[in-house]
């Protein structure tokens, strides 16, 4: 029989202290139930409580992101309120240090939220707390895509922005993404700002109860002008040409917030409306038709493919729930179900080619213009940059880094993220990327070609690049640490049959790259393998890239490399 958990145990004390300051009826009830069951000897309840209070959900360069629920290791109103107060303190201090806000002007924070569970509640809590701390707070007029919030930070000249979203994470997650204005240009936070904000949040948690934090209704609701400005700017990315006429395509919002905004931009830019995946068009935080609302996940686009087959479409376009990512699929008789989703690298290289052509002919930019991608994305983008005489930058993973590349005119990462309009949005934007992609499709159709023909032309012009990815999801994050430590202690000399020529550990930084938990292996025969933990999910990821003499050669070589990488991973895990 399980021993009773004493009422005065440290775990019970921490849980009760959290519960007494929690303004949410649902999470208070969760704790009441868990505490009662733990005190009665329920081992599962005790373990659950232990997980919820074993640590604090960390605030880092991705802000906050985690599972909804009661406790310091979950996303909830207590944690978000502490984060809002800590961020407000940081913004006030930063504004004072730079002279912003002098003359009675309060620092400005703009807040957005999507359709996930509690996103609107977390946004309102943040607005009330920040307003009470003397900030001017503007909340977007309704649930909207993340790129609209990123745009609003720059458009309104805000000191900071908050987007309440967990992007493409599982349905029961939510998050808190922070942007900074001023010298940061509306990009997501990086060091040292992340640590400084985290320290302020911890100070609030250590010294103040959430139910004692002052609140105020003196915050503003943004008018439609912000959304209209985003619509106009995004429509100008690629106005429809003659080739757009008659385009039959399918769109899914993946139960997210993308369609309302995208539909306005399509009308402004002159593109025909798509056939909608009706079951997934309206925002629904339950995500009832997908197990995992990420277009990269197997099965997530099955309804879109079925809709496309019924409609006789030539293209499928998908956004993730907060519309900062873009997925594209083409008809392919050889693929299961007759449709093939392009990889993020394929789409990223096409959009990069488009951007490079425009930048190379744009007066006044010349060689100072640059293309950028995360170091785990295809090396093909560097080939494009060199072809057009543009600068190129490889960065750590995440648009917080990509968006800061000097002279950037375009950036992408293989995880379906594309920055095509850096003058207005300094973050990945699945909506503006969709418009740019439709522009490529329309131009090809005007020449009697399809998107598949453009892909072949890219290969023939720049080389036959192929990529693959291996993701290992874990329940225990220490398993990832063990694999990374084992590879560092005994670097492989070959992967499969391909020799490793150079092993790079980025833990302490390398060249222009800041420190990151990344291993980069340069192999013979123009191949590369990169190993890193995911920044947003409990996964270890391996990124594989090759350059072949033909499409078939590249496909064969990357498949062989993947087999070798899986064998290496199994060996390391077994050891």
61-222 shares its CATH topology with 238-462: yes
Between CA 49 and CA 70 the distance in angstroms is: 9
As given in the structure block, the two tokens for residue 260 are 């309302």
61-222 folds as Alpha-D-Glucose-1,6-Bisphosphate; Chain A, domain 3 (3.40.120)
- Residue 167: active-site member: yes
Which one, of 249, 256, 353, lies nearest residue 311 by Cα? 249
Closest-CA residue to 542 (of 556, 554, 527): 527
pLDDT per residue, tens digit, the chain (575 aa), is 445 556 558 999 999 999 999 999 999 999 999 999 999 999 999 999 999 998 999 887 779 999 999 999 999 999 999 999 999 999 999 988 554 444 458 999 999 999 999 999 999 999 999 999 999 999 999 999 999 999 999 999 999 999 999 999 999 999 999 999 999 999 999 989 999 999 999 999 999 999 999 999 999 999 999 999 999 999 999 999 999 999 999 999 999 999 999 999 999 999 999 999 999 999 999 999 998 899 999 899 999 999 999 999 999 999 999 999 999 999 999 998 899 999 999 999 999 999 999 998 764 544 489 999 999 999 999 999 999 999 999 999 999 999 999 999 999 999 999 999 999 999 999 999 999 999 999 999 999 999 999 999 999 999 999 999 998 888 888 889 999 999 999 999 999 999 999 999 999 888 888 898 999 999 998 999 999 998 767 889 999 999 999 999 999 999 999 999 999 999 888 75
Residues in the chain, total: 575
Peptide bond into 192 cis (omega under 30): yes
Q: Where are the alpha helices (DSSP H) in 362-398?
A: 380-387
Where does 76-189 have alpha helices with state H? 77-98, 119-132, 146-155
CATH topology classification for 238-462: Alpha-D-Glucose-1,6-Bisphosphate; Chain A, domain 3 (3.40.120)
327 neighbors 416 (Cβ within 8 angstroms):
yes
Handedness of CA 551, 435, 155, 118 (dihedral sign): negative
**Fold topology of 463-574:** TATA-Binding Protein (3.30.310)
Q: How far apart are CA 482 and CA 42, in angstroms?
A: 32
pTM: 0.93
Helices and strands, counts by H and E, the chain: 17, 22
Among 72, 81, 119, 167, which one carries the catalytic annotation? 167
Spell out the domain ranges in the chain: 1-54, 61-222, 238-462, 463-574
Q: Where does 5-97 show beta strands of DSSP type E?
A: 64-67
């Amino acid at each position: 029989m399980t021993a009773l958990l004493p009422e005065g145990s440290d775990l019970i004390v921490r849980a009760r202290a959290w519960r007494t300051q929690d303004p949410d009826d649902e999470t208070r009830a969760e704790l009441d139930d868990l505490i009662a069951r733990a005190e009665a000897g329920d081992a599962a309840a005790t373990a659950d409580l232990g997980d919820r209070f074993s640590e604090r959900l960390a605030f880092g360069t991705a802000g906050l992101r985690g599972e909804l629920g009661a406790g310091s290791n979950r996303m909830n109103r207590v944690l978000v309120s502490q984060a809002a107060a800590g961020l407000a303190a940081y913004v006030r201090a930063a504004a004072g240090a730079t002279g912003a806000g002098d003359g009675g002007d309060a620092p400005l924070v703009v807040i957005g939220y999507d359709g996930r569970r509690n996103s609107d509640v977390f946004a309102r809590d943040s607005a009330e707390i920040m307003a009470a701390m003397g900030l001017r707070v503007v909340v977007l007029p309704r649930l909207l895509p993340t790129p609209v919030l990123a745009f609003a930070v720059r458009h309104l000249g805000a000191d900071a922005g908050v987007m309440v979203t967990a992007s493409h994470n599982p349905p029961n997650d939510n998050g808190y993404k922070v942007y900074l204005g001023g010298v940061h240009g509306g990009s997501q936070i990086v060091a040292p700002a992340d640590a400084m904000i985290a320290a302020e949040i911890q100070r609030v948690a250590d010294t103040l109860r959430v139910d004692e934090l002052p609140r105020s209704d003196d915050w503003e609701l943004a008018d439609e002008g912000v959304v209209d400005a985003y619509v106009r700017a995004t429509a100008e990315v690629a106005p429809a040409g003659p080739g757009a006429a008659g385009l039959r395509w399918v769109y899914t919002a993946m139960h997210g917030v993308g369609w309302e905004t995208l539909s306005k931009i399509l009308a402004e830019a002159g593109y025909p409306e798509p056939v909608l995946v009706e079951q997934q068009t309206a925002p629904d935080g339950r995500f009832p038709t997908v197990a995992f609302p990420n277009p990269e996940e197997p099965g997530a686009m099955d309804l879109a493919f079925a809709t496309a087959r019924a409609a006789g479409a030539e293209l499928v376009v998908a956004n993730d729930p907060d519309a900062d990512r873009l997925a594209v699929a083409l008809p392919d008789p050889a693929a299961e179900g007759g449709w093939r989703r392009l990889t993020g690298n394929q789409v990223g290289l096409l959009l990069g080619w488009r951007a490079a052509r425009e930048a190379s002919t744009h007066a006044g930019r010349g060689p100072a213009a640059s293309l950028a991608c995360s170091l785990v994305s295809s090396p093909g983008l560097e080939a494009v940059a060199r072809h057009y005489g543009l600068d190129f930058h490889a960065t750590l993973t995440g648009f917080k880094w990509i968006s800061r590349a000097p002279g950037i005119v375009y950036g992408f990462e293989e995880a379906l993220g594309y920055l095509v309009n850096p003058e207005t949005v300094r973050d990945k934007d699945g909506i503006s990327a969709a418009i740019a992609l439709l522009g490529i499709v329309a131009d090809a159709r005007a020449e009697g070609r399809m998107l598949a023909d453009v892909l072949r032309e890219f290969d023939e012009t720049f080389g036959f690049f192929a990529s693959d990815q291996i993701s290992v999801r874990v329940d225990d994050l220490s398993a990832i640490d063990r694999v990374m430590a084992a590879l560092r202690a005994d670097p492989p000399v070959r992967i499969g049959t391909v020799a490793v020529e150079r092993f790079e550990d980025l833990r302490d930084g390398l060249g222009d790259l800041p420190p990151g938990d990344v291993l980069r292996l340069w192999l013979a025969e123009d191949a590369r393998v990169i190993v890193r933990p995911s920044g947003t999910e409990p996964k270890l990821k391996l990124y594989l890239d090759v350059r072949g003499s033909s499409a078939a050669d590249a496909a064969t070589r990357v498949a062989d490399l993947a087999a070798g990488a899986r064998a290496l991973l199994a060996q390391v895990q077994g050891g």
